Structures are given as C-alpha cells and as structure tokens.
Structure 1
C-alpha cells in the first residue's frame, strides 16, 4: 500500500505519549498514528453507515419506533427491579 505524507500538529504531551507507545510496541510513531487513525476511521464509517441504514429503515417504514415515554418507563422499571 502506498503511503502519503500528511502534516499533523500535536501538543507536546501527546507526542511524548505516542513516542512511549511506539517504544513499548517496538514500532515507529508513524505506525502508531496510522493504527489509531485507521481505527478511528473504521469506527466513524461504521457509525455513519449505521445511521444511514436506520434512516432508510424509518423512511421506508421498516423500523419499529418506540415512544420516548415508553423507553423511560421501561428503564425506570428495570432500575426499580434491581434496587428492590
């Protein structure tokens, strides 16, 4: 996989933390940052796709919607059951 160069500014504390992690894992700071950014992008893409899927479900009438009051009542009951 080809790599592009990006300039990113980080504060001194974060740089020190990244350097410590790189040393602990026997990796370069760049590889630690790449791993972190990859995980972040994966998670964000998952969320965006999930939200889009749920929006489509609602628009197409495939979603089961629950009133806010019903959700609160369910949680209140579950909480009460655990503390009885």
Structure 2
C-alpha cells in the first residue's frame, strides 16, 4: 500500500504520549497515529452509513416510530424495577 505524507500539529503532551505508546508497542509514532486514524475513520464511516440507512428507512416508511413519551415511560419502568 502506498503511503502519503500528511503534516499535523499536536501539542507536546500528546506527542509524548504517542511516543510512549510507540515505544511500549515497539512501533513508530507514525504507525500508532495511522492505527488511531484508521479506527476513527472506520467508526465515523459506520456511523454515517447507519444514519443514512435509518433516514432511508424512515423516508420509505419502513421504520417503526415510537413516541418520545413512550420511550421515557419504558425507561422509567425498566429502571424503577431495579
């Protein structure tokens, strides 16, 4: 996989933390940052896809809608039992 260079600025505390993690895992700072960014991008893409799917479901009338008051009542009942 080809690699591109991206310059970012981080505060010195974060840089020190990244360096400690890299040292602890026997990796480079760059690989630690790559792993973190990959996880962040994966999670954000998952959220965007989920939201788009839910919006499409609502628009197409396939979603079951629950009134806000019913949700609150369900939570109150669930936690009142414990």
Q: TM-score, normalized by length of structure 2?
A: 0.99
Task: Tell me, in whole angstroms, the C-alpha distance in 2 between the residues paired with 1:29 and 1:79.
Answer: 45
Does residue 1:80 correspond to 2:74, yes or no?
A: no
State the match for 2:25 in structure 1: 25
Counterpart position of 2:14? 14
Structure 1: runs of 5+ lacking an equivalent: none
Unaligned runs of 5+ in 2: none
- Structure 1 Cα separation of the partners of residues 11 and 65 of structure 2: 44
- TM-score (norm: length of structure 1): 0.97
Matches within 5 A, 1:59-78: 59-78=59-78
Which ranges of 4 or more aligned residues in structure 1 deviate by more than 4 Å? none
How far has the Cα of 1:14 moved from its partner? 0.2
Local SS of the residue matching 1:71: helix
Count of residues in correspondence between the two structures: 82
- RMSD of aligned alpha carbons: 0.3
